[in-house]
Chains A and B, each alone.
Chain A
Amino acid sequence: MKRRDFLKRAIKVFFSILAVAILSALVYIYPSKIKNRKLHYMYLMDEDDLPRKGVRKIEFEYKLEDRTITNRVFVVAGNDVLTAFSPVCTHLGCLVNWDNNKKEFLCPCHGGKYNMNGEVIAGPPPKPLTRLPLEIKDGKVYVGIKV
């Protein structure tokens, strides 16, 4: 083999190794612990405390990997229907607040607005608020969230 050909090949090998190194680095950066979240039912409140009509913000706590996490949901009581909404705005993930005077959910980040049924009435959100499953067992209310 001529010296020129050898050097050309050496350069090719060098860049191949570099490409492999960069690809491995990208895989390395990607989190390894992305597991599928499973639905867990968390205790929310007693059935007697449920709002009869209107919207109420409920905070609840649970443990995750020896940390206590405080989460919140909106429980909406309409005509014989009880719904739980996640407070996470479907636009870019801020937490919405309930405005009781205007009867709408308002996101503080970019002004997304949802009505009492979680449907978008103004602003950038692409989807309605996420509904969370509710379960009532032995007079206690549980909400299903993915953990």
Chain B
Amino acid sequence: MGKIFDWIDSRFGVKEPHKRFLQRPVPSNVNYSYCLGGMAFTYFLILAFTGLLLSIYYVPSEKEAFKSVVAITNEVTLGWLVRSLHKWSANLFIIFTILHTIRVFVYKAYRPPRELNWMAGVLGFVIAMASGFTGYLLPWDQKAYWATEVGTSMFGTVPLIGDYLMYAVRGGLDINGTTLIRFYSFHVLYLPVSMAVILWAHFHMVKKQGIAGGL
């Protein structure tokens, strides 16, 4: 590889331990449906990138949130593009995650020794849905408010601990600025970091266990 890379790698040493994976041939029995997971991951990367950009202008406060979203859409240069990319990538991320799950299911790729990787995938899907739920509140408009009213009320239907759960999620009796801030915090910190850890585990197991054979 290039001189600069070689200079770095001779000190950092990332090439040697990864040689086995980088030079391994792709199995001949794979087809394009094996790309669905990679597509989902690509959308995750777009989400991470556009999300970082949105966080520069978004203000997670009761009075400013809606205004700042309007400003991002109408005033910030290319703001409309960044926001749309984030919104559409979120939808496509979920869709491709589901398609990838169906592919794994159909090809029976969840069978031993890959059960743990299936579990990691399920956990990743839960985090994706939680990100979608928390992100939906952030525009702080009527649709966001009522969707969260309905969504958090569902926590209240859990037997025995329902009310405590609902208040913990809302950060109070009703949905207000406190709810907005904790949803923002989860959306930009807790969930993406958890997702990164889960994805690392997911890919690590794919490398170690190899790609499951065809049907």
Stretch in A6-14, A27-35, A49-57 with 4+ CB within 8 Å of B: A27-35
Residues of chain B touching chain A, judged by Cβ–Cβ distance below 8 Å, are 146, 149-150, 153-154, 164, 167-168, 170-173, 178, 182
Cα distance A31–B163 when bound, in Å? Answer: 12
- Which A1-45 residues sit within 8 Å CB-CB of chain B? 26, 29-31, 33-34, 37
A109, B167: Cβ atoms closer than 8 Å = no
How far does the Cβ of B172 sit from chain A's closest Cβ, in whole Å?
A: 5
A94, B146: Cβ atoms closer than 8 Å = yes
On chain B, the residues within 8 Å of A91 by CB distance are 153
B168, A29: Cβ atoms closer than 8 Å = yes
Which residue on chain B has the smallest CB distance to residue A37?
B173
Interface of chain B, main secondary structure = helix
Known A92-B153, A93-B153: A34·B167 in contact at CB below 8 Å = yes
On chain A, the residues within 8 Å of B150 by CB distance are 92-94, 109
A33, B172: Cβ atoms closer than 8 Å = yes
Cα distance A37–B149 when bound, in Å? Answer: 19
Closest CB pairs A-B (n = 6): A92-B153, A92-B150, A93-B153, A93-B149, A31-B172, A30-B168
Interface digits, A67-101 against B, CB 8 Å rule (1 contact, 0 not)?
00000000000000000000000011110000000
Q: Which of B146, B153, B154, B167 contacts A30 (CB 8 A)?
A: B167
Cα distance A26–B173 when bound, in Å? Answer: 17
A109, B168: Cβ atoms closer than 8 Å = no
How far does the Cβ of A144 sit from chain B's closest Cβ, in whole Å?
A: 17
On chain A, the residues within 8 Å of B173 by CB distance are 34, 37
Q: List 16 A-B contacts (CB under 8 A).
A: A29-B168, A29-B171, A30-B164, A30-B168, A31-B167, A31-B168, A31-B170, A31-B171, A31-B178, A37-B173, A91-B153, A92-B154, A94-B146, A94-B149, A94-B150, A109-B150
Cα distance A34–B167 when bound, in Å? Answer: 8
Chain A: interface residue total (CB-CB under 8 A): 12
Interface digits, A91-134 against B, CB 8 Å rule (1 contact, 0 not)?
11110000000000000010000000000000000000000000
On chain B, the residues within 8 Å of A94 by CB distance are 146, 149-150
On chain A, the residues within 8 Å of B153 by CB distance are 91-93
On chain B, the residues within 8 Å of A109 by CB distance are 146, 150
Cα distance A33–B167 when bound, in Å? Answer: 10
Which residue on chain A has the smallest CB distance to residue B170?
A31
On chain B, the residues within 8 Å of A26 by CB distance are 168
How far does the Cβ of B182 sit from chain A's closest Cβ, in whole Å?
A: 8
On chain A, the residues within 8 Å of B164 by CB distance are 30
Which residue on chain A has the smallest CB distance to residue B163?
A34
Cα distance A91–B164 when bound, in Å? Answer: 18
Interface centre among B153, B172, B178, B182 (most CB of A within 10 A): B153
Interface centre among A33, A34, A91, A94 (most CB of B within 10 A): A34
Cα distance A60–B182 when bound, in Å? Answer: 30
How far does the Cβ of B107 sit from chain A's closest Cβ, in whole Å?
A: 37
Cα distance A93–B170 when bound, in Å? Answer: 14
How far does the Cβ of B35 sit from chain A's closest Cβ, in whole Å?
A: 37
Cα distance A33–B172 when bound, in Å? Answer: 7
Cα distance A92–B147 when bound, in Å? Answer: 10
- Known pairs A26-B168, A33-B172. 6 more at Cβ < 8 A? A29-B168, A31-B171, A34-B173, A91-B153, A93-B153, A94-B149
Cα distance A33–B182 when bound, in Å? Answer: 16
